[in-house]
Structure 1
Amino acid sequence: MQLQIQQVVPIPLKPNLLNRQSDIWLKGITFLPGTRVKIKAASGTGKTTFIHFLYHLRNDYEGNIFWGDTDIQNFTPAQLAQHRQQKISIVFQDLRLFPNLTARENIELKRVMQQPLYPESTIKEMAEQLGITKILHQRAGICSYGEQQRIAIIRALMQPFEWLLMDEPFSHLDQENTRKAAALITEECNKRNAGFILTDLDDDHYFTYHQNLVL
């Protein structure tokens, strides 16, 4: 499933963006299936806003966003739910974990809602890869932010997807833990022939990107 961005600009930020150089805002761009995209931008230029547009959490923009042949604004609620369950997954910048549930329960909620149902053993395998096995039974709210980021990454991988959206997913991880998380993400995207879009403040060397863009 390809993604097309056509002359999109966030309405609240439009006056500030008209005179800025951007590879995304007010441009026409197509991301082909399986493409791995890095979008670099300074704080306040709309990284999270852009990810929220793609996930249809916000629609205060001009222009059009097409997933496949369908403008996301034309999705019915049922179509949007199906799209999020089968076609796209997300790692939010603010993570959106349930603080009173354990790490495992946060991941399990995603696992049991999807078809096909991923084996429960997958949670332990991914947790071992990311070094968080010992905190699976802790409440997410008392885990460190870096641990919470790894919980959110595993949760996002616990469903089918053709595209993975990631908004500064490694901001609280050291280099070694970032390397491990990137390796797991690459492995899971390869299994699905999936693409991803990652936003961040800086350049990195953890992935091989097909496109490096500036917001």
Structure 2
Amino acid sequence: MQLQLSQLVPIPIREKISNRQSDVWLKELSISRGERIFIQAPSGTGKTTFIHMLYGLRYDFDGRISWNGKPLSAAQREDWAEIRQKELSVVFQDLRLFSDLSAWENLEIKRNLTNTVTEDEMAQWLERLGLKDKRNSLGQTLSYGEQQRVAIIRALLQPFQWLLMDEPFSHLDKANTAKAAALIQEVADRNNAGFILVDLDENDYFPYTKTMML
């Protein structure tokens, strides 16, 4: 699934970003499936807005976003439901876990909807990311770093051609970041998928195919 951006600019921050250099805003871009993209995005340049636009949650922009040549503006609600089930997955900055459900229940909802990962494999992922003992802990009792790791696992519990990530490791130490990045790399390779990661600072989490400035 190819991503094409044409003269894209978010309307609410148009003036703020119009006088700064960007590799994304107001450019012509074509990104092919399987690419691993890092976009450095200083505060206030539309990092989270960009991810929400790609995922079809915001339409307050000028220009065009197209997946496989189909503009987002032409996608209907049922189109988005299918895209998000089969082609796009996301790790939101605000994570969006159910606070009154356990870590396991948060994951099991997604696993049952997609049926692409076994229960045993999901349990192994929890253990790999140091969450084995947090399986039955409510979302609201988890630290932010623990919530991030649950949200990362949740995003991997479905088929995807693209994984969108908004500061996915911001509350993880180096050891846990390395474990989470390794799992993401493994599942992305399995799916022959690409990803787009936006973050504030330069990093070497992955062997990126392209690095850009928002």
Counterpart position of 2:29 = 29
Counterpart position of 2:3 = 3
* Structure 2: tracts of 5 or more residues without a match: none
Q: Are 2:203 and 1:204 aligned?
A: yes
Counterpart position of 2:129 = 130
Q: Amino acid of the residue matched to residue 34 of structure 1?
A: G
Counterpart position of 2:173 = 174
CA contact (8 A) 1:93 1:167 kept: yes
Residue-by-residue CA offset, 1:76-132 (whole Å, 9 max, x unaligned): 111110000000000000000000000011111111111x44211121111111111
Q: Which residues in structure 2 correspond to 1:1-215 (within 5 Å)?
A: 1-114=1-114, 116-215=115-214
* Structure 1: tracts of 5 or more residues without a match: none
Where 2:7 maps in the other structure, the secondary structure is strand
Give the distance between the partners of 2:129 and 2:98, measured in 1 at CA: 20
Give the distance between the partners of 1:90 and 1:157, measured in 2 at CA: 9
- TM-score (normalised: structure 2): 0.99
Q: Amino acid of the residue matched to residue 16 of structure 1?
A: K
Give the distance between the partners of 1:89 and 1:198, measured in 2 at CA: 12
Q: Amino acid of the residue matched to residue 86 of structure 2?
A: Q
Q: When the two structures are aligned, how many residues end up with a matched partner?
A: 214
Moved more, 116-125 or 190-199: 116-125
Residue-by-residue CA offset, 1:187-210 (whole Å, 9 max, x unaligned): 000000000000001111120000
Query: How large is the Cα RMSD of the aligned pairs?
Result: 0.7
Q: Amino acid of the residue matched to residue 24 of structure 1?
A: V
Q: Amino acid of the residue matched to residue 206 of structure 1?
A: Y
CA contact (8 A) 1:104 1:123 kept: no
CA contact (8 A) 1:86 1:161 kept: yes
Percent same amino acid among aligned pairs? Answer: 52
Tell me by how many angstroms 1:140 deviates.
0.8
Residue-by-residue CA offset, 1:40-95 (whole Å, 9 max, x unaligned): 01111100000000001110000000011211111111111000000000000000
Give the distance between the partners of 2:101 and 2:161, measured in 1 at CA: 28
Give the distance between the partners of 1:87 and 1:4, measured in 2 at CA: 15
Give the distance between the partners of 1:119 and 1:167, measured in 2 at CA: 26
Q: Which runs of 4+ in 1 moved over 4 A?
A: none
Give the distance between the partners of 1:14 and 1:5, measured in 2 at CA: 16
CA contact (8 A) 2:116 2:159 kept: no
